[in-house]
Amino acid sequence: MTAVSVAVDDHAAPSVRVAASAAIDPTSAIGDDSAVWHLTQVREHAMIGRECIIGRNVYIGPGVVLGDRCKVQNNALVYEPAHLEDGVFIGPGVILTNDEFPRAVNPDGTLKSADDWTAVGVTVRQGASVGARAVCVAPVVIGEWALVAAGAVVTKDVAAHALVVGVPARRVGWVGRAGVPLVEGPTDIWVCPRTGERYRSVGESLVEEPT
């Protein structure tokens, strides 16, 4: 890959690597030490943070915002006005939609334009992961460190640390920052088998126990 300048202020960003076949709008911004692979399109005014990896054949819509250290895998479609916070993982073939009531035409048969509908976005909070081929139907919020299983269809907000699966997605457990399912301990306590972090369930939410 070759380094190109894609910063909004037109200052060179020599640590950014962009494949020659990628289509990067000059009004977009890509942070230092990020990489954009072949055939990917980054639309106007999109903002990609530092140390991000954007895979092959990815679509990043106009005005989409990605935080630092995000990974967006091959063939993912991230439609505006999606907002991904720091450390978000988007798996291969994931779709983040933006139209609640999609139609190609208006009731009178005329082709819809951008003025004929209002885009709604998907928000993915810090550290959350969306597995391969999952679809997030906007408007929804994926909570911090949550994990959406491969192939799930998310139609409502996902709580922080929730593990959701299925169509429509439903919570089947909890995950910690390491991404592995938590193990149920004493009453209302959940423990990460990898890091030892402890969490307490409170209704339909999970809070980390102080160390």
Q: What is the pLDDT along the chain (211 residues), one digit of tens a residue?
A: 444 444 433 433 568 999 999 999 999 999 999 999 999 999 999 999 999 999 999 999 999 999 999 999 999 999 999 999 999 999 999 999 999 999 999 999 999 998 888 999 999 999 999 999 999 999 999 999 999 999 999 999 999 999 999 999 999 999 999 999 999 988 889 999 999 999 999 988 998 888 7
Over the Cα atoms of the chain, what is R_g? 19
Would you state the torsion angle of the CA atoms of residues 111, 113, 116, 119, taken in this order, to the nearest 10 degrees?
130
- pLDDT at site 14: 67
- pLDDT at site 13: 59
- pLDDT at site 12: 37
Sheet-wide strand order for 122-124: 29-30, 47-48, 65-66, 83-84, 122-124, 140-142
Of 52, 45, 44, 106, nearest in space to 76 by CA: 52
Query: By the 8 A CB rule, do 156 and 125 touch?
Result: no
Domain boundaries 73-175, corresponding CATH code: 2.160.10.10
